[in-house]
Amino acid sequence: MPTHLILGGARSGKSRHAEQLAAASGLAVHVIVTAEALDDEMAARIARHQADRPAGWAVHEAPRNLATTLAAVAAPDRCVVVDCLTLWLANLLDGAETLAPGADAGALPAFARERAALLALIPQLPGPVIFVANEVGLGLVPESPLGRLFRDEAGRVNQAVAALCGRVSFVAAGLPLQLKG
């Protein structure tokens, strides 16, 4: 099973699809989660995802240091699910509101370092990894500069990860469409 990027909108079924693929792999499953429960609504979302996962799956939290965690967890005898790249990106954009107008997130040292580390790691992964990410570029243009920066960087990260993955799927209404591989 090659590396796989699963894209989709909110509530599209992308996480469920990733979990089904991981379960079908026959390997031990490790999930790397990037969300942080910073408010009650996000805590409820996290609890819903936890309840949906099989109890025997190992879970690792990596809201910012994804490449380091992924390097430690990935192995030939494991299937790793990274859920999700979009929340990881949002966590790394902390401080982006201070950027000059028109600047990209590469000006944020933590973002630039973590993005580069992840992209360098993907071709070296020793076992199957399934990345989950939101496709945020299909909707309205965000009203704020920070919103537009987030949308643009999410698109750039998704393109870079897709180029490195052997498989890419798009999920809509719970139905996966294979884009690559």
Structure tokens at 110: 């933590």
- 53 marked as binding residue: no
| 49 catalytically annotated | yes
Q: What CA–CA distance (Å, rounded) separates 85 from 93?
A: 12
- 180 marked as binding residue: no
Q: What CA–CA distance (Å, rounded) separates 62 from 68?
A: 9
Residues 6+ positions from 82 with CB-CB distance below 8 Å: 31, 32, 34, 66, 70, 88, 129, 130, 131, 132
- 169 marked as binding residue: no
- 139 marked as binding residue: no
Structure tokens at 131: 């990345």
- 12 marked as binding residue: yes
Structure tokens at 51: 């309840």
- 174 marked as binding residue: no
Q: One of 17, 30, 49, 60 is an active-site residue; which one?
A: 49
Active site residues: 49
> From the annotation, which residues make up the binding site?
8-15, 61, 83
> From the annotation, which residues make up the binding site for GTP?
8-15, 61, 83
